Amino acid sequence: MSDATGYEVDFYAWANEQAALLRAGRLGTADIDNIAEELESMGRSEKRELISRLTVLLTHLLKWQFQPGQQSRSWWATIRIQRRDLARHLKDNPSLRGRLDDAIDDAYGNAQIEAMAQTNLPESIFPATCPWPWEQIMDEGFWPEG
């Protein structure tokens, strides 16, 4: 399946074939352009996971702060799990630390929308930009007060 259609016809078979070619040092036979595209896509996927996990965490921190009467063990667990998963994700992908400011900005915009939808509170209640720095977001002892 070395032809160019292998990539589009059977990705799994193509990926295994390309891995075998690379391990064998047969770079001239490998589908370099599509391999490069897949590697770039994997990098984008790791950044999307960072933003997604931050969105969930920030949403719950906003809900925790702005709906203190609704705080639950479920929210508490979600906050703790997302902090742990984010720490693990950054340990596995340390270069993403250089993208934290942008990721927080992206995630916070999504978190505002999600928090508005889940709480029925008006947009004006929530700060326009993320009110917490990274260190505070990840601090296991930090629980915003309303």
Helical pair 100-119 and 32-66, crossing angle rounded to 10 deg: 50
pTM listed for this prediction: 0.83
Report the distance separating Cα 2 and Cα 127, nearest Å: 54
Kindly state whether residue 119 falls inside one of the protein's structural domains. Answer: yes
Residue 55's domain comprises: 44-138
Kindly state whether residue 99 falls inside one of the protein's structural domains. Answer: yes
- Segment holding 125, helix H or strand E: none
> Three-state DSSP class for 58?
helix
Give the model confidence (pLDDT) of 108-146 as tens digits.
999 999 999 999 999 999 999 999 999 999 999 999 997
Count the domains in the chain: 1
Kindly state whether residue 11 falls inside one of the protein's structural domains. Answer: no
Determine the pLDDT at residue 5.
55
* Residue 30 and residue 18 in contact, taking contact as beta carbons nearer than 8 Å: yes
Kindly state whether residue 17 falls inside one of the protein's structural domains. Answer: no
Amino acid identity at 65:
Q
Give the model confidence (pLDDT) of 36-94 as tens digits.
988 888 888 999 999 999 999 999 999 999 999 999 999 999 999 999 999 999 999 99
Report the distance separating Cα 79 and Cα 73, nearest Å: 10
First vs last Cα of the chain: how many Å apart? 60
Kindly state whether residue 77 falls inside one of the protein's structural domains. Answer: yes
Residue 14 burial (10 A CB sphere; 0-12, 13-18, 19+): buried
